[in-house]
């Protein structure tokens, strides 16, 4: 057994972030759609934009979600294919559109 606790810290933080149902739903939706802006995510989840933004910030801080500016809006995506594998296992989906 590996006694280097610090090596597992980032993985544990990632799993904790994905354990929240709203964040899990956001990541799942982004994987299905490929890319999306916050307005689309908000409309799909029927939650206030401020709530969605807080969850996206948490996901961005752990590099689960990436944001790219497109004009005046931010476009969100999931850059790490390992996240897709984790979500597929949790949700039971076979594949996502690229």
Query: Predicted confidence band at 39 (pLDDT cuts at 50, 70, 90)?
Result: confident
Q: What is the mean predicted confidence (pLDDT) over 12-37? A: 92
Q: State how far the Cα of 78 lies from the Cα of 80, in Å rounded to an integer.
A: 6
- Please report, for residues 22, 72, 76, 81, the alpha-carbon distance to residue 45 in angstroms, rounded to integers and kept in the order given: 8, 22, 15, 23
Residue 29 confidence (pLDDT) above 70: yes
Query: Predicted confidence band at 94 (pLDDT cuts at 50, 70, 90)?
Result: low
Average pLDDT over the chain, rounded to an integer: 88
- Per CATH, the number for 10-91 is 1.10.10.10
């Amino acid at each position: 057994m590996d006694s280097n606790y610090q090596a597992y810290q980032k993985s544990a933080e990632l799993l904790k972030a994905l354990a929240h149902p709203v964040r899990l739903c956001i990541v799942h939706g982004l994987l299905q759609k490929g890319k999306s802006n916050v307005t689309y995510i908000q409309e799909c989840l029927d939650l206030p934009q401020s709530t969605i933004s807080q969850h996206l910030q948490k996901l961005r801080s752990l590099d689960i979600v990436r944001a790219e500016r497109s004009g005046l809006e931010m476009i969100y995506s999931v850059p790490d294919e390992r996240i897709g594998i984790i979500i597929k296992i949790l949700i039971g989906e076979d594949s996502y559109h690229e």
